Structure 1
Amino acid sequence: MVKQVQLYFIFLFTLSTFSESTFAQYESRGVAFNYVDAESFFNAGNYYDALPLYEILMAENPKVVEYQLKIGRCHLHLTNSPEKAIEYIENIYTSKPKTPDVEYYLGKAYALNYQFTKAIETFEKAAKNSKTSVKLKDEIPLLIQQCKNAIELVKDSVAVEIINLGNIINTIDNEYSPTINADESTLIYTYKGTKSIGGRQDEFNREEVNGNFYEDIYISNKLLNAWLTPQSISDSINSKLHDASISLSPDGQKLYVYNDTRDFSGDIFESKKENGRWTEPQSLSINSEFWEGHAAISPIGNFLIFSSDRPGGIGGRDLYSAVKQTDDSWGEIKNLGSTINTKYNDDAPFIHSDGVTFNFSSEGHTSMGGYDIFESKIINDTGYLQPRNIGYPINTTANDIFFFVSGRGNAYYSSARKGGFGQQDIYVINVNDVITSKPVLLVKGVVKENKNFTNAKITVRTESGKDLGTYYSDISDGKYQFYVDLNDFYVITYEISEFPSQIESIDATKYTQYTEIEKNINFVSKDVNINGIALTRENPISPIMNLKVNLSNKDKTINKVYMTDEFGKYDFSNLPNDEYYLLFLNEEDEKIIVDSTYIFKGKVTMKGIPYSKALINDMPTDEDGNYRLEMKKHYYGVLSGTSSKLDEMSPEDVMAKFGDQTAAGVIFKVQIAAYSNANNYNGKHLTTLGTIEKTILEDGITRFTLGNFSTLRAAKELQLKAIAKGQEDAFVIVFIYGKRTYLDELVNTGVFK
């Protein structure tokens, strides 16, 4: 069983390229050990490291046929140099035609290089040759049939563009088995190379200077259509053994992984994202004492297809189904039958967003060489449509496996094709014209409790009451997403503790093609209290009684007035938790002296607890909930008809009109925090965005800012980057000749036009 685990993750994945850098990765133990190490690498399926050793050996002993044949066989698996397989093996066949098995390997070299007629002729000779081993002769009928299949598939090729994900994701090492969430904002994949936690190990997981690298799982998130630098996913998942990504649920909350087990059988595990962290993977109940290597889960999470080599199957590896039980275990395990499974290997299933279409890889059916990717339909848990090959050039004469498709129709898979950055690279292909899955509706959004992200329970049902699954928003960013069909009406219930449920309805019948809709949910408690005191800045500073203090929110759905008492105090209670409040004066108030400056200072609380980072007139409260404002003419008359010219403009219109304007003395910055005690702020997570500046204003509060920009658009782009790094309350501020002002004041005074 040891060898089997190694071969699954190395033979299938290390269809690698060869370069001179190989020599730098091998630590020579002397000439005497070169052959031992070469054989060790070769027998483990690590052709990338075996090749340079055989080349060293052949340079020293050029007449040794074994070295030449092993070099040729290495090139059969290093798909960036398939033509060299023909070069080496043809040379042996010409000079020493009686070499055992040489015709068999020459046939494979021709097939790999799309010389199918020559391959068939050579395989037929090998089948009759007594020098061909019995085991290899048994494979020849399949290889001949694959060549015949390939001739037809190449004639009827499909038009697709295969795009490399780029050097942020792909390196000189191996990246493969990609999996994504529904909106393609998170990519999880398997990495094998110099950064592997386990380093080089032997087949018993012991450190070995010239052993094989073991797999780890990496994750990257997309920001502004660009992938961020990948990171090791979690110490709770990655270990010194093999850890490989298999499948990610559409909402990105459940990850299925392959783990080595201590008895070397290899099993499928599930990790859940809880409180923003991945849990330690738990073994699925489908696992046996035999090998289970890959799995696909249906969009609503109640049906599973997995691969196993357990006894009683039709071929080597077969596909099986399982149904989620009421206790959340998996049961009712069934072989998918002879429509899907062949007497060869069938592996790597993937279930599409419609819950009906599924792909898998097979060496049988109409494969054109190695594993090919096929499409079928799930009729029920025992019935499936006859598979069809999805075509060339997606499928090739090498192994094509691990195909993961979004609802948008973008397929992510790995390949060692020419033009990559290293060995296995990850590619994306739009397969909307290739795959026949039905279009679906992707429902996504963000759930907040007050202004904080929360872990909401989201239940989806049809209008008739059919349960379509339960989902949870991610507490780290509030995001959720799920698929529904286009042929029904849906009722979505959002629940968090201590709040009444919120219900949304969706009529999906009005959509005819793949569509994404956004439903952002905010649970707002009416427990916010804003109190304070109004002071005049005349000498001496004194409270103002009977002054009408006005309060509104950003959307102006709240409009309240409070008249200060004899101490100048005001108190607004039972407010919803909006992200933005505006305190202002009415210039018609007889207490107002126009053009005078007033000071408002006070505290914001929620449920009696100080409420930090609440926005009052664009200024966040400190960690104790305190705020201090200078009330100038800018904040007079908001309700009396002197509103800003920006009030009726959408954010997009504001950006289009003013985003690129500049003016003398005008500077834009991004405020990321405000603290009365500057030592309480840690901005390490934002240091890659630039130098963090500290400014102490008259109110004694330290403001932390990033950037100095002449345009609003440049500052807005930096704000979005800060938000993506977790500073969700970052906002743009503006100064004119070093004095804090506001965009609408620049507009109202004609600085911006």
Structure 2
Amino acid sequence: MKKFILLLAVSGLLASCGSKIASSNFDKGEYDRVIAVLSDRLDENNADQNFMLAEAYRLSNRLKDAAPYYRNARNAGSSEPGVDYYYARALKANQQYDAAKEILTSFITKPRGDEKFQELAQIELDNIDKIDNLSDAQNYYRVKNLDDLNTQWAEYSPVIYNNLLYFTSNRSGGKIYGVTGTPFTDLYRVRTQGANVNIKTLQPLEPIINHPDINEGTMAVSADGASIVFAKGNSGKATGNNEVNLYFTRFRNGQWLTPRPLSINMPDSWDSTPAFTPDGNTLYFSSTRPGGYGGADIYSAQLNRRGRWVDVQNLGPQINTPGDEMFPFVSEDGKMYFASNGHPGFGGLDLFAATRRRGKISVENLGKPMNSSSDDFALYQFDLTRGFFSSNRPGGKGDDDIYTYINEDPDLKVVNYFVEGITYTTDDANNKIVLPNTKVSLLAENDEVVGESFTTEDGKFRFRVYAEEDYNLIGEKTDYFTTRKVFTTMDKTVDRTTLTEFITNVTFNTEIMMDRIVLEKAIVLNNIYYDLDKWDIRPDAAKVLDSLVLIMNDNPEIFIELGSHTDARAPDDYNMDLSQKRAKSAVDYIIGKGVKAERIVAKGYGETQLIVQSATTEEQHQKNRRTEFKVLRYNPKEQEDEEPEVEVNTSTNNVDEYDRFFDEDDGSGK
């Protein structure tokens, strides 16, 4: 598998290495050359040489081949802190699970072992203990090698758009990449009807995308086919892995434009394996940037209305582990499929499905035959029951191969939940009108951002939601108050036993009313009451003031005055003093909730601004006794005027002749 190379520091190795040539090659990341040099002159009793050779195999993604050299290094007394851990990983990749457990158990109990690697060893030991359960788990997958496409070289990361199968390969030969000893990879496309490939139509993508001296990696195609995002790097001209980045290009006037790096790339990090959500509003990718949970983690970025990717977020420890997580794919039923060697698996990278239930993420290994002790990765669904993935398992055509799969689970039923709505405002006559181009965010109960989008010209938005969860919908637009609306799917779950269709879509409707920010316009806070002649904040008033705190937090650009008014049934001086104390008490409460003092001032008006001048009834007096706020100053965010990075629209793929391929299956499941 040549799709990712993660370079790790090897402490104290180079100074004692038995071969200066190999040492120099290793320092440059030329692992295949290290293997060639040391294989000819290896001293089995030289711990440093054996550890370097083992690391060269591991870092060029040949972990199975590294096992005997980790063993030699260990037996020769290597002082490298990771030798036991990586030896066990190599044994696991060769399905020598009992031997791997023995090494890990011994290493964990060492009194002065390396703490970091001992923690990793414990995780690996726990994962190995779960292999039997993974093997026994029932599933209905059938897999088959895509023989018409695969070669002795690497083919991986399939993506389909409009009956075109895109993939990554080094099948055309060319210049050799020193890290792996194989040719640089390029992007290809071929006509296909489902899994029936027309190999005569195979061709590499244009030279403006493919470069003979650089690896082009995994790609993602926008829903309208007008844009692609792909990984590019690993030219071998720089040490480390900091040159691997995500690039984008658009199809204009019959040709692809010059690819440009995405703004979300992180210097000195490996950013790769991009994938769009079905609606095109979220980009998932894998990265080794600082602040993650281990090696490569999966991140998300949101598409803003100017066509740029923003708000990069790590998906958290429910998805990411101290190992590597990569190759995300979000399916039409809301599941995220990805590859990992950190979750419990059979050896190398395994395929997993992450499902959201009641606000929590559960991760499930897809089991055999989807997974093996080799690397299984880059799943792409053609529809909810079939698709493609990549693997370098034994029995393939060569290096990485593309496989097809079908899920024949007879009880497979899918329920999709959505919330859709429209953003509105009001005109001067208080008539409701549509408010387009409004940013709407869907937040889970813990304020996790589940989705973001901008409303269309007719004000519409739509999000996938999940059963039995509470949400907040947040509307944001320049010159309007950011508005928060509660939405829930609690007690609205469909009874699956009543379903007759394979796919059931449930849509909830709502709307968000947005108020324009008008300076000095008074807005009444209803139901704020005080005891007679007092200014203490009562519990019922606190609830209303908490809503103002939320408004202040959601609208950090506003500076307000909080005003208190009385009726006219006491002397003027008394009412003025009482209203000032009440206003200050309310402001102090709000500041105590974390709002900066400079953003809010207290103002007592007494009876100087009566709504009902000659009040006679208690209802009229209550109208005069009120608390209001008004915006004194508003500092809207400056909008960046940048060129869009990608254009993404919603569309769907159609199932064509995919079944015909499996009709020719020999029943072996291979």
Normalised TM-score (structure 1): 0.46
Between the aligned partners of 1:372 and 1:38, the Cα distance in structure 2 is: 32
Distance 1:315 1:35, change over 3 A: closer
What's the secondary structure of 1:323's corresponding residue?
Answer: strand
Please say if residues 142 and 407 of structure 2, whose CA atoms lie closer than 8 Å, have aligned partners that are also in contact.
Answer: no
1:549-584 deviation line (CA, Å, top 9, x unaligned): xxxxxxxxxxxxxxxxxxxxxxxxxxxxxxxxxxxx
Which residue among 164, 168, 171 is the counterpart of 1:190?
168
Shift of 1:234: 0.9
Which residue among 4, 9, 13 is the counterpart of 1:9?
4
Shift of 1:194: 6.0
Shift of 1:258: 0.9
Alignment partner, residue 226 of structure 1: 197
Alignment partner, residue 258 of structure 1: 231
What's the secondary structure of 2:144's corresponding residue?
Answer: strand
Shift of 1:340: 2.6
Please say if residues 247 and 262 of structure 2, whose CA atoms lie closer than 8 Å, have aligned partners that are also in contact.
Answer: yes
1:361-382 deviation line (CA, Å, top 9, x unaligned): 33434344444322124689xx
Larger-Rg structure: 1
Alignment partner, residue 119 of structure 1: 100
1:54 is matched by which residue type in structure 2?
L
Alignment partner, residue 215 of structure 1: 185
Please say if residues 288 and 310 of structure 1, whose CA atoms lie closer than 8 Å, have aligned partners that are also in contact.
Answer: yes
Between the aligned partners of 2:303 and 2:361, the Cα distance in structure 1 is: 23
What's the secondary structure of 2:394's corresponding residue?
Answer: coil
Alignment partner, residue 336 of structure 1: 315
2:307 is matched by which residue type in structure 1?
D
Which residue among 286, 308, 327 is the counterpart of 2:287?
308
Gaps spanning 5+ residues in structure 2: where? Answer: 8-17, 417-454, 464-498, 505-670
Between the aligned partners of 2:410 and 2:60, the Cα distance in structure 1 is: 28
Aligned residues: 410
What's the secondary structure of 1:319's corresponding residue?
Answer: strand
1:9 is matched by which residue type in structure 2?
F
Shift of 1:111: 1.6
Larger RCO (alpha carbons 8 Å, 6+ apart): 2
1:203-230 deviation line (CA, Å, top 9, x unaligned): 8xxxxxx976433212222269233253
Between the aligned partners of 1:439 and 1:255, the Cα distance in structure 2 is: 30
2:210 is matched by which residue type in structure 1?
N
* Residue identity (%): 26
Please say if residues 415 and 425 of structure 1, whose CA atoms lie closer than 8 Å, have aligned partners that are also in contact.
Answer: yes
Residue 389 of structure 2 corresponds to residue 409 of structure 1: no
Normalised TM-score (structure 2): 0.51
Alignment partner, residue 512 of structure 1: 501
Distance 1:43 1:296, change over 3 A: same
What's the secondary structure of 1:321's corresponding residue?
Answer: strand
Please say if residues 48 and 73 of structure 2, whose CA atoms lie closer than 8 Å, have aligned partners that are also in contact.
Answer: no
Residue 135 of structure 2 corresponds to residue 164 of structure 1: no
Which residue among 414, 422, 430 is the counterpart of 2:406?
430
Between the aligned partners of 1:433 and 1:215, the Cα distance in structure 2 is: 36
Please say if residues 153 and 170 of structure 2, whose CA atoms lie closer than 8 Å, have aligned partners that are also in contact.
Answer: yes
Distance 1:123 1:251, change over 3 A: same
Distance 1:377 1:136, change over 3 A: closer
Residue 303 of structure 2 corresponds to residue 324 of structure 1: yes
Between the aligned partners of 2:183 and 2:21, the Cα distance in structure 1 is: 14
Residue 209 of structure 2 corresponds to residue 237 of structure 1: yes
1:649-698 deviation line (CA, Å, top 9, x unaligned): xxxxxxxxxxxxxxxxxxxxxxxxxxxxxxxxxxxxxxxxxxxxxxxxxx
What's the secondary structure of 1:9's corresponding residue?
Answer: coil
Shift of 1:73: 6.2
Please say if residues 175 and 426 of structure 1, whose CA atoms lie closer than 8 Å, have aligned partners that are also in contact.
Answer: yes
1:19-39 deviation line (CA, Å, top 9, x unaligned): xxxxxxxxxxxxxxx956655
Residue 48 of structure 2 corresponds to residue 56 of structure 1: no
Shift of 1:162: 2.7
Gaps spanning 5+ residues in structure 1: where? Answer: 1-5, 13-33, 204-209, 441-460, 470-509, 516-753
Between the aligned partners of 2:187 and 2:378, the Cα distance in structure 1 is: 15
Between the aligned partners of 1:255 and 1:129, the Cα distance in structure 2 is: 50
Please say if residues 313 and 335 of structure 1, whose CA atoms lie closer than 8 Å, have aligned partners that are also in contact.
Answer: yes
Alignment partner, residue 678 of structure 1: none
Which residue among 353, 360, 378 is the counterpart of 1:375?
353
Distance 1:157 1:80, change over 3 A: farther
1:392 is matched by which residue type in structure 2?
K
Matches within 5 A, 1:587-666: none
What's the secondary structure of 1:353's corresponding residue?
Answer: coil
Residue 78 of structure 2 corresponds to residue 108 of structure 1: no
Which residue among 345, 366, 373 is the counterpart of 1:390?
366
Between the aligned partners of 1:160 and 1:295, the Cα distance in structure 2 is: 25
Alignment partner, residue 444 of structure 1: none
Distance 1:242 1:36, change over 3 A: farther
Please say if residues 193 and 214 of structure 1, whose CA atoms lie closer than 8 Å, have aligned partners that are also in contact.
Answer: no
